[in-house]
């Protein structure tokens, strides 16, 4: 009897591990960006800021407006947390069990399929965060602070319009702030806010790459199991033990 020939199969697992590592790192960066914004809002971002009045003298402005939009931050934080914990840490467990299951029985672990669904849902959440964040930021991009209202607002918060943190502090910088330290702190944190907004693009892209690789691996694995089986002695052939 002719010997059974081992079918060469090229898995995507090593690429999945690489994409998973990059995604986890970027998700941690995203969480760090959002956390820095929250910390700023609760400390120096709360003001008050001393502003030069064009009519003479100065006035105080509360650091946050009355209508501050933060949902995009919560959404991004959720996307980053999902990518890091469920996809990243959960992926390590799923991939280890997958390798063990393939070596033992030549079949995929049920957890690997569950994790694959989580990867897809994570990408959808990241995509939603990306779209929502850019849309809401662009909707309020050209707003300015009305000095006539701002002069008389303190100690209450500025109540005209709704603002994202990025839009609000950009508008604050358009005012003539008395203290250079306030300008420097706001400029630094604005860069971080823009950083996490653009980082969502990277997070979404990496999640998409990982999702594609996982889908390709599932398709390859199912095709491999359909083409190959066991020898008459019971040994598995044509399966990937990597």
Q: In the prediction, which pLDDT does 3 show?
A: 40
CA quadruple 158, 161, 162, 164: dihedral sign: negative
Residue 130: burial class (beta carbons within 10 Å; 0-12, 13-18, 19+): buried
Are 198 and 130 a contacting pair, CB within 8 Å? no
pLDDT tens string 74-130: 999 999 999 999 999 999 999 999 989 888 887 888 999 999 999 999 999 999 999
* Nearest by Cα to 182 from 45, 89, 81, 1: 45
The pLDDT score that the predictor gives to residue 227 is 56
Mean pLDDT by 10 residues, the chain (242 residues): 45 94 97 93 92 92 94 94 97 93 83 96 97 95 93 93 96 95 96 94 98 94 66 44 39
Would the CA dihedral through 58, 62, 65, 71 be positive or negative?
Answer: positive
Distance of alpha carbon 205 from alpha carbon 31, whole angstroms: 17
pLDDT confidence of residue 26: 97
**DSSP three-state, residue 51:** strand
- Average pLDDT of the chain? 88
Contact (CB, 8 A) for 82 and 173: no
């Amino acid at each position: 009897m002719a010997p059974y020939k081992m079918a060469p199969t090229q898995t995507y697992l090593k690429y999945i591990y690489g994409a998973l590592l990059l995604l986890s790192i970027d998700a941690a960066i995203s969480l760090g960006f959002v956390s820095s914004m929250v910390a700023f809002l609760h400390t120096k971002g709360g003001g008050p800021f001393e502003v030069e009045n064009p009519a003479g003298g100065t006035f105080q402005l509360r650091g946050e407006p009355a209508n501050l939009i933060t949902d995009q931050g919560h959404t991004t934080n959720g996307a980053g947390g999902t990518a890091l914990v469920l996809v990243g840490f959960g992926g390590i467990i799923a991939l280890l069990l997958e390798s063990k299951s393939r070596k033992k029985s030549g079949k995929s672990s049920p957890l690997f399929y569950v994790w694959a669904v989580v990867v897809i849902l994570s990408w959808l959440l990241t995509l939603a965060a990306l779209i929502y964040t850019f849309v809401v930021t662009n909707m309020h991009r050209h707003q300015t602070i009305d000095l006539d209202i701002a002069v008389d607002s303190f100690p209450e918060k500025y109540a005209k319009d709704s603002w994202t943190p990025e839009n609000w502090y950009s508008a604050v910088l358009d005012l003539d702030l008395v203290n250079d330290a306030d300008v420097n702190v706001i400029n630094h944190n604005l860069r971080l806010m823009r950083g996490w907004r653009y980082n969502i693009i990277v997070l979404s892209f990496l999640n998409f790459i990982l999702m594609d690789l996982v889908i390709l691996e599932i398709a390859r694995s199912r095709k491999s199991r359909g083409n190959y089986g066991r020898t008459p002695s019971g040994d598995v052939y044509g399966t990937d033990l990597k």
